[in-house]
Amino acid sequence: ACVRSNSNRAAISHLHRQLYGRLYRVLLVNTDGSTVRLRYGEPKRILMMPLDSSTLPEAERKARLRRHFPSKPKAKEEETFKGIDLDTYKKYWKK
């Protein structure tokens, strides 16, 4: 269970740190679409504020829920070959 702490370990996956030593510039996106640059403790590009669904109108709230949880697709009816005349396609069969 020997753990090597060198530059190759960070290149394979993300950094395994609990606390970062400096603050990083991050773009914060508010729910109305406005953006603010701020200093954040983790190296990220964009932070998005969560949308409060209780402030939305009823129609828009239901539309957002429908987009997040779509209904199950309906089963399609299978085609039958009862109405097809097979003699018209006889020339395409291999002998």
Q: Where are the domains of the chain?
A: 18-70
How does pLDDT run across 76-94, given as a tens digit for each residue?
888 777 777 888 888 888 7
Could you read off the pLDDT of 24-46 as tens digits, one per residue? Answer: 999 999 888 899 999 988 888 99
State the pLDDT at residue 35.
92
Q: What is the mean pLDDT of residues 61-78?
A: 86
For the entire predicted model, the pTM comes to 0.42
Separation in Å, CA 52 to CA 26, 55, 90: 22, 6, 64
